Structure 1
Amino acid sequence: MRQRFGKFFAVIIMALATAAMTTPLLAHHGWSWAEHGNSEVTGVVTKAELGNPHGIVTLDVKGDVWQVEVGQPWRNERAGLTDAMMSPGVTLTAKGHRSAKPDQKLLKAERIVIDGKTFDLYPDRD
């Protein structure tokens, strides 16, 4: 009996530890960290770190540094957006939701516009 209780207790501790470690990672994903209203930012790409879980494109916006969270690789591909399109020197407009923290220059993009062409990363969102 005591041995079963020990194994059960160990499983519970491992589950709680796993939940505690993953909760901060999940807190950023989704939309809860962003404002509800739509925003847009236009700038020149200075750096693009694309990949999972999502890509980050850094823009120079009139001297300010902005980060734009784009979709996962599969989402970008589905929208027709390639990594080469977001290379340094490219001017793009990101439309989506900016961080709820006013001092943070971060926007989660729903749509990316390059050379007048719109790439809809989240077609189900307005």
Structure 2
Amino acid sequence: MSLQRRRLLAAGLATLALTALPRLALAHHGWRWTDTGEFELSGIITAAELGNPHGLLTVQAGDEVWTAEVGQPWRNEAAGLTDAMLAPGTEVILRGHRAADAARLVMKAERVIIAGRLYDLYPDRS
């Protein structure tokens, strides 16, 4: 591969990494970015990006659009929650913790309720 192609490839990868950083920061492991109080969000899933390190749902809740972090694929599976259940158009109730910065419409879900059934992603958390 020529030096010019390597530089072009490196520049492209750097650009991709920089555009992904805000999304990666949102999906960072841990709970330190969340508020300590319990939070519940009800709405309709409009988009889902499922996979590692965490799944992300876009949820229309009234006039607001929220981003909700759900579990890693293995955690969702252990709770009985499949990717197909998190498809756009699904009505969902999410329980967990919202961002400590109330201006951010972001939450981390501990529990997911679909069609009246509870999927406990973090059974060790109360």
Whether these two folds match at TM > 0.5 is yes
Provide the residue aligned with 1:94 in structure 2.
94
Note the residue ranges of structure 1 that are not aligned, 5 or more in a row.
1-23
Question: Partners in 1 of 2:102 and 2:70 — Cα distance?
Answer: 20
Provide the residue aligned with 1:85 in structure 2.
85
Note the residue ranges of structure 2 that are not aligned, 5 or more in a row.
1-23
Provide the residue aligned with 2:125 in structure 1.
125
Question: Partners in 2 of 1:69 and 1:50 — Cα distance?
Answer: 9
Secondary structure in 1 matching 2:51: coil
**Alignment: residue pair count:** 102
TM (normalized to structure 1)?
A: 0.78
Identity of aligned residues (%): 54
The residue identity in structure 2 corresponding to 1:117 is R
Provide the residue aligned with 1:13 in structure 2.
none
TM (normalized to structure 2)?
A: 0.78
Provide the residue aligned with 1:34 in structure 2.
34
Question: Partners in 1 of 2:102 and 2:116 — Cα distance?
Answer: 29
Question: Partners in 2 of 1:112 and 1:75 — Cα distance?
Answer: 12
The residue identity in structure 2 corresponding to 1:41 is L
The residue identity in structure 2 corresponding to 1:93 is I
> In terms of Rg, which structure is larger?
1
Deviation at 1:121, TM superposition (A): 0.1
Q: How large is the Cα RMSD of the aligned pairs?
A: 1.5
Deviation at 1:29, TM superposition (A): 1.6
Structure 1 segments (4+ residues) deviating >2 Å: none
Provide the residue aligned with 1:112 in structure 2.
112
The residue identity in structure 1 corresponding to 2:56 is I
Higher mean C-alpha deviation, range 28-37 or range 38-47 = 28-37
The residue identity in structure 2 corresponding to 1:114 is I
Q: Within 5 A, what are the aligned runs for 1:33-72?
A: 33-72=33-72
